[in-house]
Amino acid sequence: RTLCPGPLDESGDGAKRHAQFYLIICNFCNRISSSQLNMLQMTKKFILTPDGLKNLKQEYEELVYTKKPAVVARIQRAREFGDLAENSEYDAAKEEQTLVETRIAALEDVLKKAQIIEPVTKADFVIIGSKVVVEMNDEVHEFAIVGSMEADPSKNKISNESPVGKALLGLK
């Protein structure tokens, strides 16, 4: 009845395949621990187009060089008001600092694990980077299949990990 394999092998090319298999089986068994999930997330690559990479780098630089110093300045000003126990300005600035620091850490992780794909001009089947035309209810929709970090349905960019994206991948 136990389907979960042993500990992950962190070396070699087989580690990624092992990690993916492990996640599928353990989720099926509902027996995955948080430490095992964290280990699997460490192997995840983030698929980005060159534009997506550029946008994430710009966001990262804005956070590090503009927003983070501004939040630190807000915290320092709020400290000058005195009693921190009843200082709502200080609490709000500390909360904003947490949000900024969390986003910076997430972006660092994404940029470190980014896998860049070039936009596809012509392919026989749908892959990440493809633009696809779908006809639904007598309406024609055009979508770009992108990685999860770039997905934005309002701009007709759908994730390769979404149900629609998964259904389209591999079709002719």
Tens digits of residue pLDDT in 63-113: 999 999 999 999 998 888 777 777 788 888 999 999 999 999 999 999 999
pLDDT band at 3 (very low <50, low <70, confident <90, very high): very low
For residue 149, give the nearest of 108, 121, 120 by alpha carbon: 108
C-alpha–C-alpha distance, residues 81 and 167, integer Å: 56
Look at residues 91, 51, 86, 59 and name the one whose alpha carbon lies nearest to residue 74: 91
At 137-160, the pLDDT tens digits run 888 888 888 888 888 889 989 998
| Verdict on whether the full-model pTM lies above 0.85 | no
Alpha-carbon distance of 129 to 8, in angstroms, equals 31
Q: What is d(CA 67, CA 5) in angstroms, rounded to the nearest whole number?
A: 45
Q: What are the start-end ranges of the H helices in 30-162?
A: 34-42, 50-62, 68-79, 88-112
